[in-house]
Amino acid sequence: MDRIEFISLLVSLLAYLCASLLYAAQFIAIKTPRLPLTLPIDGYNQKRIYINKYSPATYLTLLGLLANSFSLIFRYTRTGHPPLGNMFEFLLFFIWGIALTYLVIEFKYNLKQIGMFALPLIFALNSWLITMDTSLNPLMPALRSNWLYFHVFTAVVSYGAFAISFVIGLMYLIKDRFLIRNLYSNFVHALPELDSLEELSYKLILVGMPFLTLVIITGAIWAEMAWGTYWSWDPKETWSLITWFIYAAYLHTRFTKNLKGRLSIALVVIGFLAVLFTFAGVNILLPGLHSYA
């Protein structure tokens, strides 16, 4: 691994770790007697605890994102092509997309409570990233296509949106579980209202779903150009379709049956687990044409 690249990866790792700890500290410091602010999220009144809009945790997350961006640019300058040639580079883009999506949500809604749950996920993925082979290799013939760039960009947007919707879904299930058991505490009080969590998760899936659809469409076009067939039931293709159906089921039940609550959120969680399996599990357990990524 190049020294400059190692430093960049280390900076992002430490930034995300420190941000995780600071978000947790902010969350723990919230006390029930402090007055909440009531601000709308698209028609929903969401009680939230006031935290300063800009905090060290936010800046550290931004630093991690900038370090990831530097790593991507550095690899581009070294290879002469976008860094999309192996699992390391795809994961680097994946982390970049999740961190960017989280910061957009934080800046828009000032919901730093989400950071306590989102940053550990980002840190865990970054920890995995730093253990990978970072060799700079030329692109495989199948990857030398402009469709690859569209395919990966749409994947980054959809996976980033699904990752944060998953984190919000976990927050919903945790708070719902505490409320069912009549367990009230500073921790429960600090979490946003269930309706607001569900609405925000839904909005993110509305963003991610069209891009996931484009992932499959651009992948099919690219496959036809590279391998002469639009669809070959390769494991990664199949699991991408399974993931699409899970999120489609979520939207269908919400639109037609107005299904909400923990059952609906369970589909959000299952959907992102399918995303993770499509992204990494397929490569490990079901290698195929996409074994390079």
Of the candidate ranges 172-181, 206-215, 224-233, the one whose mean pLDDT is the lowest: 224-233
Helix, strand, coil in percent for the chain, rounding step 5: 75, 5, 25
The yes-or-no verdict on residue 274 having pLDDT over 80 is: yes
Q: Across-strand partners of 36?
A: 49
What distance in Å separates the CA atoms of residue 262 and residue 268, rounded to the nearest whole number?
Answer: 10
Residue 292 resides in a domain: no
The yes-or-no verdict on residue 127 having pLDDT over 50 is: yes
Q: What is the mean pLDDT of residues 159-187?
A: 88
Residue 273 resides in a domain: yes
The yes-or-no verdict on residue 37 having pLDDT over 70 is: no
CA distances 208 to 165, 182, 214, 251, Å, are 9, 34, 10, 12
Q: How confident is the model at residue 120 (pLDDT cuts 50, 70, 90)?
A: very high
The yes-or-no verdict on residue 187 having pLDDT over 60 is: yes
- Residue 12 vs residue 26, higher pLDDT: 12
Q: What is the mean pLDDT of residues 228-233?
A: 77
Arithmetic mean of pLDDT over the chain: 83
**Model pLDDT, residue 46:** 43
CA distances 164 to 35, 41, 108, 141, 271, Å, are 27, 16, 14, 34, 12
Residue 116 resides in a domain: yes
What distance in Å separates the CA atoms of residue 252 and residue 37, rounded to the nearest whole number?
Answer: 33
Counting beta carbons within 10 angstroms of the beta carbon of residue 43, is it exposed (0 to 12), middle (13 to 18) or buried (19 or more)? exposed
Residue 290 resides in a domain: no
Residue 221 resides in a domain: yes
- Residue 111 vs residue 183, higher pLDDT: 111
Q: How confident is the model at residue 88 (pLDDT cuts 50, 70, 90)?
A: confident
pTM for this predicted structure: 0.86
Of the candidate ranges 48-52, 131-135, 206-210, 242-246, the one whose mean pLDDT is the lowest: 48-52
The yes-or-no verdict on residue 40 having pLDDT over 70 is: no
- Residue 63 vs residue 53, higher pLDDT: 63
Residue 249 resides in a domain: yes
What are the φ and ψ backbone dihedral angles of 40, each rounded to 5 degrees?
-80, 145
Of the candidate ranges 47-61, 94-108, 161-175, 213-227, the one whose mean pLDDT is the lowest: 47-61
Residue 291 resides in a domain: no
pLDDT tens track for 89-113: 889 999 999 999 999 999 998 888 8
The total domain count for the chain is 1
Residue 104 resides in a domain: yes
Is residue 73 within a helix (H) or strand (E), and if so which, with residue range? helix 56-79
Residue 252 domain boundaries: 3-285
Of the candidate ranges 132-141, 155-164, 273-282, the one whose mean pLDDT is the lowest: 132-141
